[in-house]
Structure 1
Amino acid sequence: MNDTHITLHGWVGGEVRHRDVKGVSLSTLRVGVTPRVRRNGEWADGETTWYTVTAWRALAERVRDSVVVGDAVIVHGRLSTRTWTDDKGQPVTTLEVEAVYMGHDMSRGTSTFRKAQRPETVDGDLEQEVAAMVAETAAEAPAMTSWGPTGAVREPAA
């Protein structure tokens, strides 16, 4: 897959909107990124670029519970663009980031971390079944190191 991944740090510019989509949590928010640029020998704010950030599942719930307007955040995720037509018939292009990781920007302030509770397993027998499958296939797999299978020497192609 040829996705473009980016990491950005900026400021939350609106309320986090949260909803369930077919039983899956989704949080959406706007993050503004304003670069510092040098103009006439002095530093000034550049033009702000706005991103629509989406987070799914557990990340969506944690964003909903942790992030508020004005927070400095770091977002890492998949960048995409979406073009649509506004009420006046003008084409509009938005930058969207589907967050993979997101958190407070500790270079801009402080934060308190609380480890999330691990979800309870639905079926204890499933864990045992998976463990048995792993053990069964592990016996068939060759021994591996960070350099690949041990004992297998490949000759370079002539």
Structure 2
Amino acid sequence: MSESGGWDVNSTPTTNEDGTTTATMQVQPSSRLRTFASDAVNITVRGRIGSDIDYKQLPSGTKVARCRLAVTRRGRDDAGNWHDASTAWYTVKMWGQLGENASVSLFKGQPVVVTGKFEVNEWSNSETGNRGTELVITATTVGHDLGYGVTEYKRIKKEGYRTAMENDGGNPFSTGGGGQFGAGGDGNPMGGERTGNPFGGEGDNSLDAGENDDPLGVGQKETALA
């Protein structure tokens, strides 16, 4: 560990029965600049999406999406109330079909589980002299955290969601022209009623948990990205 980043990153290796090694990561702000170097550290984190999904297709044709992810440690006091311990912000990068699917499936504020390669990247601004670090996860798997709501899997054709949008006149959930997601007659791809809940449940979306019901507790943190 060298002094060139803004976080203390501690890794505790554990040898599994099959001979593989799992690294347990602890990341927290540091008063000194440090960086963590590793060939490949795979982690799984739970958090809430803290930004809109930024999706683009590069000139080479490669698809990539990225977003910010807030991971907050929470604990209960003697009265049973939740309190923040600390929040770490990650940049999640999603390549290929994963990125395209994420760009139309995930939205700011939703709880997710992310697995991927973890890195700590340094950045600097030559004009201002500012320096810092960025916690990055290059994701291999991303999905909704079903501990907070329900979702429904829809398999898409190889042409992808965005090509389907063009074929269906901008609406891949179209009931006419063979919208490939098989939406119901009300146009809701999840097949539920249009109650304002994207998961087709009752009007009070279970994902909109109150302060004392949110063990991730990042609702107030999302303004940091504005």
Offset, 1:66: 0.2
Q: CA RMSD in A?
A: 2.2
Q: C-alpha separation between the residues in 2 aligned to 1:43 and 1:103?
A: 25
Q: Which has the larger radius of gyration?
A: 1
Tell me what 2:86 maps to.
47
**Amino acid in the other structure paired with 1:109:** G
TM-score between the two structures when normalised by the length of structure 2: 0.49
Q: 1:60 aligns with which of 99, 110, 121?
A: 99
Distance 2:103 2:82 in 1: 35
Alpha-carbon separation, structure 2, partners of 1:43 and 1:65 = 32
| More deviation, 104-113/35-44 | 35-44
Q: Deviations over 1:50-83 (max 9, x none)?
A: 0000000010111011001111110000000111
Query: Aligned ranges for residues 91-110 of structure 1 at < 5 Å?
Result: 91-110=131-150
* Residue 112 (1) aligns with residue 144 (2): no
Report deviation, 1:46.
Answer: 1.7
Q: Measure, in 1, the Cα distance between the counterparts of 2:99 and 2:68.
A: 14
Residue 134 of structure 2 aligns to a residue whose secondary structure is strand
Provide the C-alpha distance between the structure 2 equivalents of 1:118 and 1:20, rounded to a whole number of angstroms: 16
* Residue of structure 2 in register with 1:10 after alignment: 47
Cα distance in 1 between the residues matched to 2:153 and 2:86: 32
The 2-side partners of 1:46 and 1:108 are apart by: 20
Using the size of structure 1 for normalisation, the TM-score is: 0.69
1:48 aligned counterpart, secondary structure:
strand
- Between the aligned partners of 1:70 and 1:43, the Cα distance in structure 2 is 19
The verdict on how the C-alpha distance between 1:40 and 1:85 changes in structure 2, with shifts beyond 3 A counting, is farther
Aligned to 1:129: none
Q: Structure 2: give runs of 5+ residues left out of the alignment.
A: 1-37, 160-226
Stretches of structure 1 that go unaligned for 5 or more consecutive residues are 120-158
More strand as a share of residues: 1
Paired letter, 2:132: V
Name the residue aligned to 2:70: 32
Q: Tell me how many residue pairs correspond in the alignment.
A: 120
Runs of 4+ in 1 over 2 A off after TM superposition: 37-43, 116-119
Residue 86 of structure 2: SS of its match in structure 1? coil
